[in-house]
Structures are given as structure tokens and as C-alpha cells.
A and B are shown apart, each in its own frame.
Chain A
């Protein structure tokens, strides 16, 4: 009987891949452990080994076929090993259940970015590019513009970036400006801060922001405070960037959201993009800013495609939120990956409950655009904050404070916060889903402030 070989997931957030090469032919016998194909993901090219023994019955995709979804059969193997079949069936059943779950992946639909400031006409690119590429391009453009800009971090050069954000940079700029570091966050973050004090413009990539905790003393005590402590003499033009928050099933130590940690600190600026367009605009602004900037990316958003500005000097000023959807009934204030979820919740709220929700993408967490939030609340009289971080002392908590202080009389309902659960991130996908804010949670909160 036939066993299906499925397109494997080769990373926690992989959703599809390309079949770059078959290493077996139809009719060929394979043993467990034989390499049968090379699969290219957005991060790397990897070999796939046979788990079962038998004869290759059919190859379902050609070499060069791309965007094959994870868990799609790519080949059939004829085998008489019943026991193995059962295991395989079990796996298949499990994964198909997984597929049915609400996906935390970005919608395949391209996102439209509307910019708050409507007088500003942005000429948008014909092509859609991923946020990964938007970030990469911006780094490259700024490195071309200014020789003082360089990038360092773990695996940024020869490996081409743990998440392929720095792909091709080594080739273009050489090892003087694209620098692989040892796994030594406090050391290389401190070194980069020293370089910034002395006038260079380092971009520090943290493989993920979880590892920035190793360097947080340098970021806060050295980068954020030295301008003040030196009476304005020594500034620190530096960007700390990398994926922040949860990926998929990487559990407690690799899934933390640091938004409010860094936004707490005077001297730092903190921004978090949600689209390719604002990733470019905010990153260029960050690199050109003479202050230390924390640039919080999201691994799940790296593959999200969208238009970007054609203007090579396009920047988005910090402290300016973006109204991504206008509405009159309730304000949702959110940022990063939760912008997508909030927009999806908004659709449900419109279709099922006829609620017209306004969705504000903060983009910049410090400085925070209180003005746009307050104007919106004065119009809608109801507000829900949505973010991936823990609830205690979160960005949402600060927004609650701003709104109660400045728009108390406009509120028709208590402000609700949608956050992750107040526990360490669990590993199990079943619990992970409960931990993270879901579309339903947002819908529920908006209904609640509307007393529905």
C-alpha cells in the first residue's frame, strides 16, 4: 500500500516551501534515512530523509515547483510495512487536525496600508514584497547611503541571517560592515554601543529579542542614559532589531514580547512594524535617528507581503500612529502582528454585529501617539487595546491611563485590554493557542464594551 510523503515543516513558522531537487526517481527503492529531496524554505535549503522503506511510486511535484503548502503529499512510496503505515496515518490525522485550528499565520491577502496623514500621497510599488525583504532592502539602502552604518549579530553574515533578513548583505558590503558575532549578546551589544558613542551607526541584530535580556544592562544603562548623563555630549545612534514575541511553539524562553519593557525607558525609542510599508518607513527612520531605537519585528510577519513606497527616502516619523481602518463604534488600539488579527476581528464584528470598528496601528510605542488615540476615542466613546504581551503593566495599561486621564468624560464603557495570558508561554499547541490573544478574544472584548 502507498504511504504519502508530506511536505515537511522545517521551521516553527514555515507554511510553504519549494521543491528544489529530487534525489530519487520513480521506481527506486528507498531505505529509512535516505535523502529523497531538497526543500527550500524562506530561510534555508534542507534535505528531507525517508522515514519509511519501500519503492518510490510517484513523485507528485516537479523539481522547481514552489509554494507547496506544508503537509501536502509530495510523493508516494509503496510499502508493505503495515505498522509504519499506521504511524504515518496517525501523524497525518494529527496534522490535519492542526490545520483546522485557527491559524496564527498572516492572511495570504496582501495588507493595505493606509496612512493616517492623508495629505501625504505615497507612490506605492507595483510588486508586493515580504516584510523580510523590506527590512533587508532598507538596511542595504542605508548602508549604501552612509558608510558609518554597519550590521552585526549572530549569523548575520555567512549564514545569511537566522531568518534570512540579512541575505546578500555580506556579498554586497563585505565582512568589515556585515559582521558575524559569537553568541555573546552583552559583549557585542556593549561593543556596538561604544562604536555608536564614537560616531558609527551600528545595527545590532538580536537573533530574537529574548536574547536581548543578556544585554539589557548595556541597552538601558549605557545606550539609553549616556546622553543624559553626559549633559547632552554623547549620543548613541544605534538600532537594536530582531524578532520579538511568539513564533510558533518555541515555548517560554523564546516567545516573550518586550514592548513594554523597552518602552518603559526614557532615552529609548521603540517601534514595531506591521506591514512591509511601515517596516521600511520605520526602519529607515530608526537608522537615521541619532538616538537608540528598539525595532521590534515579528517572525510570523516576515513572510507577509505588501506594497512598499517607491521613494528611496520614505520614512515614517516616530510617534505617529496609523488608522488602518476607520470606524465609528469602537476604537481598537494595537500594533505588530495583532493589527492583522484586529482587522479580521473587525470584519466579523461588522458582518455579525454591525459594529463599525476603528483600528489604530500604533507603529511607534515610544513616543506614543496619544493624540490619534484620544481623537478616536472622542469619536467612538469605546476602546479596546490589543497586544501580544503580558497584561501586567503593558502598553495597553499605559493607554488606559492616557485615555482615563484625557478623555474620561467621553467613555461610554470601561476600557478593556486583550493580552496574552499572565503565565509563561506553554509549549503545547493546544495551550499556546489559549495563551495568545485570538480573533475571538478581540471580538468578545469589543462586544463587551458595546454591552452586546
Chain B
């Protein structure tokens, strides 16, 4: 693997920070009533998607769960249009018809944003099938929450992917809780990365709070899959600072547990590394942070100024 350049480090820092600031702003807009329905924040998990981002090829595909805002930002999508979608506006990625859980960008090979736990796993496997069918050297990264790892269709997809040697990298984002139920209470044998073993799918566990660990593992796993050896599983251990969704006070876990994770905050780890390596000074990072705050603020302004979809839009996009 190529050594990370200075600009790589700064890219990592700014993407992670952009996701966090975006999610904080989302929480604020939710509280103000501009975002409705279910809204699942990614705060605390930034190192996972940004780490994987550093290993992605342009035409690789991605499919994920409903906790998708960070995934879209990491895929290079425009925060303005993401925020417009969250606020149900015509300028949103799904023209206001999808909302927080259902966002897509075909142009950027981002296939959602799926609201049904586990459903994205056969779908991602099918996207990988297409890459192989078309003779492309691309792979599909299919994200799975720890909660979905007890869902039957996930294992059906594992079986098919292994049987047909499909180029799919399964990334389990284990944030320790499926809504309010901890992994220990939901999964018999809680080593989720081993759940492909019966199908001959290799898996490994990764520290998802440290972006550098994620990059290393995602690179190795990605190249394994790209080389035509079939699927691979990464269980990335992470933690969400917020509740399952905006309406969840997260009383099922202790304050101590949360504080422990916060003390090894993934963004702080990157910041420390950048300062240690003298890639940028504290002042330069502060300047960068300020720019990100401004960018996210203008995304929110853009969203709130965007029009709601017109009444005719109710009946469009049912069929083409």
C-alpha cells in the first residue's frame, strides 16, 4: 500500500470533520422541525467510512444502510443536496421523496440509503454480480449494521457471493447496538466477522475508531476482492455517540461507556497524527475547521431556501 501523503492526511481530517459538522447541523435542524421522520446520525463512526473512502476506485460501487449521510459525504456528494433531501426539498438528491434513509446518486455509484435492515446486502451482492458480469475490475462495498447480522437474507447473500465468487466487500459497522439492543444480547457468538466462515468467506476485525487501521484493512480486503478471489468481511468496531435515531435518548448504555469512547475520538486521533507529523499547524487546522463549518452552514442555508417539491411531483417517478 502506498504511504499516505500530506494531502491524504488533510483529506482524511477534513472529510471526517465535515461529516461530524454536518451531522451536528442535522441534529439542530431536526430539533427546529426542518428535518422530520427518522434521522440516524453518524457521529463517532466517521473513521469507518472515511478510512474505506481512501481505498476506493472511481467506478467502485457503494450501498449502505439508512445511517447514510456520512457515506454520501465520503462518496464526494454535495452536502447542500444532502441537506436539501433531509429537509424534504426539491433540490435534494431524491427530489425530496427519499429523505434521510433513502438517498442515492447513480452518477457517483452510490446505491442507497436502504431503510429495511439487511435488504441492502443482497442488493449490494447483485451490484457486485453486475461488475463481474460486465467484466469490470470494480467491486461493490456493502455496509451492514451489527443489527442486520442476525437477519436471514444476509446469510443468503453471503452464500450466493461465495458460491459465485462475487466481488463484494462486506463491511460490518459494529457500533455495538442494534437500536437499543447490544450485540451481546442479539447475536449468539458475537464475533460477527466470523459469520462468513461457514461459506468460506474470510473475515477480520478492525479498530474502527482509528482511521489508519481502517485504511490498512480496507485496502488489503479491497484488493483481495478486486483480484477475483470472491467476497471478504471486515468487522469494523465503532461507536455512535448519539442514540439510534434522533428520538432515542440511549438510556440502555452508561455515560461512562460513552465517555470512554469519546476519549479516543477518531477525529482527535487524526489531528494528533497531523500535528505530530508536522503536516499542518494547529492554526492551519483551525482555519480548515472554520471553512468546514462555513461550508456546512451554507449547505443548511441552501436547503432551507430550496423549494419544497411541487404538487405534480407526487405522481412522478413511480414508473419510467
Contact = CB atoms under 8 A, between A and B. Distances in A.
Interface of A: 150, 176, 181-182, 184, 186-200, 217-218, 221-222, 226-235, 266-267, 269, 290-291
A229 B97 CA distance: 5
Interface stretch (B188-196, B226-234, B279-287, B312-320): B312-320
B143 interface: no
A194 B319 contact: no
A195 B127 contact: yes
B318 A233 contact: no
A230 B113 CA distance: 9
A199 B111 CA distance: 12
Given A188-B160, A191-B157, A230-B102, A197 B123 contact: yes
Contacts of B157: 187, 190-191
Interface stretch (B40-48, B88-96, B170-178, B201-209): B88-96
A194 B153 CA distance: 14
A231 B94 contact: yes
B94 A199 contact: no
A-B pairs, top 4 by smallest CB distance, nearest first, are A194-B126, A190-B122, A187-B156, A231-B95
A195 B123 CA distance: 7
Contacts of A232: 95, 316-317, 320
Interface of B is mostly: mixed
Interface residues of B, number: 46
Given A150-B133, A186-B156, A233-B105, A228 B317 contact: yes
A200 B318 CA distance: 20
Contact of A191 (B102, B112, B129): B129
Nearest to B92: A231
30 contacts: A181-B160, A182-B156, A182-B163, A187-B125, A187-B156, A187-B157, A189-B122, A190-B119, A190-B126, A190-B157, A191-B122, A191-B125, A194-B124, A197-B126, A197-B127, A198-B126, A226-B104, A228-B318, A229-B97, A230-B103, A231-B96, A232-B95, A232-B316, A232-B317, A232-B320, A233-B93, A233-B94, A234-B112, A267-B318, A291-B319
Nearest to A196: B126
Nearest to B155: A187
A227 B133 contact: no
A192 B123 CA distance: 7
B320 A221 contact: no
A180 to B, nearest CB: 10
Interface string B130-165: 110100000000000000000011001101100100
B39 interface: no
Interface of B: 61, 63, 92-98, 102-107, 111-116, 119, 121-131, 133, 152-153, 156-157, 159-160, 163, 316-320
A188 B131 CA distance: 16
Nearest to A198: B130
Nearest to B90: A231
Contacts of A181: 160
Q: Which of A150, A189, A190, A192 counts the most chain B CB atoms within 10 A?
A: A190
Given A187-B156, A230-B102, A193 B122 contact: yes
Given A194-B125, A194-B129, A228-B317, A217 B160 contact: no
B201 to A, nearest CB: 14
Contacts of A227: 317-320
Contact of B104 (A190, A194, A221, A234): A234
A232 B102 CA distance: 12
Q: Which of A196, A231, A232, A234 counts the most chain B CB atoms within 10 A?
A: A231
Given A187-B160, A192-B126, A266 B102 contact: no
Q: Which of A187, A193, A221 counts the most chain B CB atoms within 10 A?
A: A187
Q: Which of A200, A218, A229 counts the most chain B CB atoms within 10 A?
A: A229
A227 B95 CA distance: 11
Contact of A231 (B97, B115, B129, B160): B97
B126 A191 contact: yes
A234 B124 contact: no
